Amino acid sequence: MSDQDPGAGVVYTETLVHSPPEQYVSEAPYQIAIVTLDSGGRVTARIAGERVTIGDRVAFVQYRNQFPVFKKQA
């Protein structure tokens, strides 16, 4: 996984995970989304903070365990 900042984008689809893999049980429930990036393409990402819905603008925050994390833009 690249450590490059993917930038911002729009939520294409999202889901709330209630039954995660064993290594993430302590974090459930958590939200994941597919984000259509402004720079092109899509990425699957964790959502931090406020929950998002389809069409919300989000911005990259960090990589956690080589997985991109985004949060809702104000």
Q: According to the model, what pLDDT value does residue 2 have?
A: 59
Mean pLDDT of the chain: 94
What letter does residue 38 receive in the DSSP assignment?
T
Interval 17-27 mean pLDDT = 93
Please choose, from the candidates 42, 2, 46, the residue with its C-alpha nearest in 3D space to the C-alpha of residue 20.
46
Tell me the Cα Rg of the chain: 12
Query: Contact, 29 vs 19, CB < 8 A?
Result: no
Span 19-34, average pLDDT = 94
pLDDT at residue 67 greater than cutoff 60:
yes
Domains, the chain, in order of start with CATH, read 8-72 (2.40.50)
Q: Give the distance from CA 35 to its chain's centroid.
A: 7
Q: Does this model's pTM top 0.85?
A: yes
